[in-house]
Structure 1
Amino acid sequence: MPKRKAAIAVGGVAALGAAALLLPNANASQDGASADAAGAPRTMKATDASDLSAQLQKALGDAFAGSYYDSGKQQLVVNVVSGDNNLIVQAKKAGAVVRQVENSTSELKAAAQTLKTKATIPGTSWAVDPRTNKVLVTADSTVTGAKWNRLESTVQGLGSGMATIKKSAGTFKTFVSGGDAIFSQVQGGNVRCSLGFNVKASDGSPAFLTAGHCGVAAKDWSDSQNGQPIATVDQATFPGQGDFSLVKYNDATTQAPSEVNVGNGQTVQITQAVDATVGATVFRMGSTTGLHNGQVTGLDATVNFQSETDPNGVDTVTGLIQTNVCAEAGDSGGSLFTQDGGAVGLTSGGSGDCTSGGETFFQPVTAALQATGATLGDAGAGAGAGAGDQSGAGAGAGAGDQSGAGAGGDAVGGGDQSGATADPSATADPSATATDPAGTGDQSGTGAGDGSSLTQNH
């Protein structure tokens, strides 16, 4: 009996800027060369900065007050409040930029706890921003009147220099509906999400990670809108301490590739799970909007979503990664990863869209793996290779002819996306907006609802 291959393909045309930034360097080596002078800040890639930060956090103890990656200079900046000067000297010798700040980690955590106690309001979020050494509080467009007054009063009560507050034009929501990746039939209609990363479950069976709110919404998942289930939810967490699901493939012989398909015949091999670093450039792949990039803006974020089951309730999720990468409905569960193949996060929710931008929050992959007992490895650690002929991809990430057998029949989809191809030598702005308004070709018939995004080749 031939083994089946599970794969997820691109669900839309990716941003030209994101593709040009990512693809030429997807497998490039970054050696993190040391600075000329001993003890001077050294350049390094973001994953090395994350490792160094973890080491310095242990060495500095209570003096450590967070860190971030200066992507322009490719340097790690470490905040310190006090402590043994010898330790600070050692941090500098290790290659970090050391910065004296006012607020300690414990003080910032205490401020976040006060916000949780006094201002758990639907449409709000908060996360520590090491670049400002403050707690960044965000309120969406629904936080008005008495709710806004309560939030503002709580922030002011934290004291001067402890927190900042800003308004978001959109509404915080989970990105469940829309898209064309994985489907489930539930009472009242269909649920659609994006596959995140293929993994090996603790019992050795093939599985994948996606958003927890997807796993809570539905148990059985298919590769087509009305197809037979190919995977079943094993574990799901939402709301609470995370937003992640482990979904096992029903066929134990399913082969799940260790790569993210970013379109135009290009893939990024996923080699490890890595922790997010504030300031680092990251890439998001989703079945609705395709490939987009941006930066990590906060860690250990708390997000208060309006409950979808209780009009007066709130679904609070903690421990998330905050970014300025855009996302839209259907991108939930999709992959957040680094240029050099590190699995970072799973799309949870946020505000805005890929036209106006906004904030998007992600479940850390490292925490999801630890909680579920799953591992990245030989069973496949990526969002999958795109099936079929993708030679006609426009703007670097739109799938061309994605012919391939879907569950129970022919699931040819993708439409004609033979628009302008991204120039791999082009220089991209990491902050580029998420859509390519020109040269994307005819995107009609991208396969939403026809099952072309997740295929099985027998």
Structure 2
Amino acid sequence: MSHRRIPKRNAVLAGAGAVGIVAAAILLPQANASQGGAGEQSGSPRTMSAAAAAELLQKLGGQLGDSYGGAYYDADKQQLVVNVAGGDTSGSAEVEKAGAVARTVQNSLPTLTSAMNSLSAKASVPGTAWAVDPRTNEILVTADRTVTGERWDTVETAVRSLGDGVAHIQKSKGEFKPFIEGGDAIFGGGSRCSLGFNVTTQDGRPGFLTAGHCGVAAEQWSEEPNGEPIGTVQEAVFPGEGDFALVTYDDPNTQAPSAVDTGDGQVLEITQAADAAVGLQVFRMGSTTGLRDGQVTGLNATVNYPEGTVSGLIQTDVCAEPGDSGGALFTRDGNAVGLTSGGSGDCTSGGETFFQPVTTALEAVGAQIGAGAGGDGGADNGGAGDNGGAGDNGGAGDNGGVDGNGGADGNGGVDGNGGAGNGDSEEGW
């Protein structure tokens, strides 16, 4: 495995590792789906790209109010599916008129949000995580291998107390932990992490984002073990409402282009920050395992690490290992999506990996990426919806995505085209 360092005056995004053949191949540009072909009738489902679906949901999410139950992108049919709760026939008609598919469900996003708050109060034991899945219209609760005995009973009791059809549990073979140690990339305080995305700070200085647990582990970071520092931590959040840190380059003349080094001399330009979506095909670059791909499986996830609880994360099936922490999560078309936080498993057995949404981190530290897109993310702090979408806090919906903290809805979906062995999937917005 070859590794590339971060030149002081040409800080192209760090990332080490050989690029897998599959991952490299699917990074090649692909044609976008039609955003509505000729002859399609108003009121009938339209075929559209994932990006077009996100835009449409930003318009629809707020119109449905409390009957909105999340949404996802059906990659096979190239259609936006919007969940409508409470038998709201007028809401369903509005969805269909806009060209999306209206799906009648039991739970509204306000109901699921309230249920997640209940889990936080009753089941915040280390080794657990949860996020809304719009495809099942339930909360997916994941417990790692350390959750046994009384701790398992606590989680199971909390899930049952929510009632039928609100949440379900799955077991993970691994153990949830931050991926902070390993090989080489950026070094500080005896720890090794990965550089995420280069940014420009509020005062115009060059800097970069990495994981918050890296930022609290050491104040200064270098490009070699025990080497001369190249950057100093200005702000770090972990645990709590995120896992991100802002590091400014000590040399104000450092050239910090908005790009990700994907290995083997290949560089992908990053043009803007964007919210995630369940099912969205994403790529991760890290100093230990290089370039890997997979899909987003949950949004606005809460993870209970041994070090403490972190909320507002993106859940994926992209593999990662120690040392990948802080590394870039991005899309084929150059959107910065997340920063590697932690998870379970490795790149042999797989597992779940969680990421800090870039849009939330940029807004918190007041920095910009690319041409300055990102930061606020949409109308009302990010998206169209209640807590993350075109709406109150981030996506176009309630909790994550075009819904809550980055995708469209609690748990969107997008043609995974692979991921770690995954075929097609659904992309949620």
Q: TM-score normalised to the size of structure 1?
A: 0.78
Q: Could you tell me how far 1:83 is from its partner in structure 2?
A: 6.7
What is residue 332 of structure 2 aligned with on the other side? 339
Q: Identify unmatched segments of 5+ residues in structure 2.
A: 1-7, 375-415, 423-429
Superposition pairs of residues 43-442 of structure 1, within 5 angstroms? 43-82=47-86, 85-184=89-188, 186=189, 190-307=190-307, 315-377=308-370, 429-433=417-421
Instruction: Check 1:54–1:33 CA distance in 2 against 1; reply closer, same or farther (3 A cut).
Output: closer
2:42 to 32, 38, 46: 38
Instruction: Check 1:42–1:173 CA distance in 2 against 1; reply closer, same or farther (3 A cut).
Output: same
Hey, what's the Cα distance between the residues in 2 that align with 1:236 and 1:277?
A: 25
Q: Could you tell me how far 1:364 is from its partner in structure 2?
A: 0.5
Q: Could you tell me how far 1:37 is from its partner in structure 2?
A: 2.9
Q: Name the SS of the counterpart of 1:279 in structure 2.
A: coil
- One-letter code aligned to 1:4: R
1:38-66 residue CA offsets vs partner (Å, 9 max, x unmatched): 33323333333223222211121112111
Q: Name the SS of the counterpart of 1:358 in structure 2.
A: coil
What is residue 11 of structure 2 aligned with on the other side? 6
- One-letter code aligned to 2:268: V
Instruction: Check 1:153–1:83 CA distance in 2 against 1; reply closer, same or farther (3 A cut).
Output: closer
Report the number of matched residues.
373
Q: Does the 8 A contact of 1:198 with 1:258 survive in 2?
A: yes
Q: Name the SS of the counterpart of 2:11 in structure 1.
A: strand
- One-letter code aligned to 2:25: A
Hey, what's the Cα distance between the residues in 2 that align with 1:47 and 1:380?
A: 15
Q: TM-score normalised to the size of structure 2?
A: 0.83
Hey, what's the Cα distance between the residues in 1 that align with 2:155 and 2:201?
A: 42
Hey, what's the Cα distance between the residues in 2 that align with 1:429 and 1:58?
A: 31
Hey, what's the Cα distance between the residues in 1 that align with 2:339 and 2:52?
A: 21
Hey, what's the Cα distance between the residues in 2 that align with 1:264 and 1:41?
A: 42
Q: Name the SS of the counterpart of 1:47 in structure 2.
A: helix
Hey, what's the Cα distance between the residues in 2 that align with 1:331 and 1:33?
A: 36
Hey, what's the Cα distance between the residues in 2 that align with 1:136 and 1:380?
A: 31
Q: Name the SS of the counterpart of 1:107 in structure 2.
A: helix
Q: Name the SS of the counterpart of 2:159 in structure 1.
A: helix
Higher mean C-alpha deviation, range 63-72 or range 243-252:
63-72
Q: Does the 8 A contact of 2:273 with 2:373 survive in 1?
A: no
Hey, what's the Cα distance between the residues in 1 that align with 2:41 and 2:306?
A: 53
Hey, what's the Cα distance between the residues in 1 that align with 2:51 and 2:332?
A: 10
1:327-362 residue CA offsets vs partner (Å, 9 max, x unmatched): 110111111111111111111110011111100111
Q: Does the 8 A contact of 1:60 with 1:83 survive in 2?
A: no
What is residue 23 of structure 2 aligned with on the other side? 18
Hey, what's the Cα distance between the residues in 1 that align with 2:353 and 2:283?
A: 12
Q: Does the 8 A contact of 1:256 with 1:379 survive in 2?
A: no
Q: Does the 8 A contact of 1:47 with 1:274 survive in 2?
A: no
Q: Could you tell me how far 1:292 is from its partner in structure 2?
A: 1.1
Q: Does the 8 A contact of 2:45 with 2:101 survive in 1?
A: yes
Q: Taking every aligned residue pair, what percent have the same amino acid on both sides? A: 59
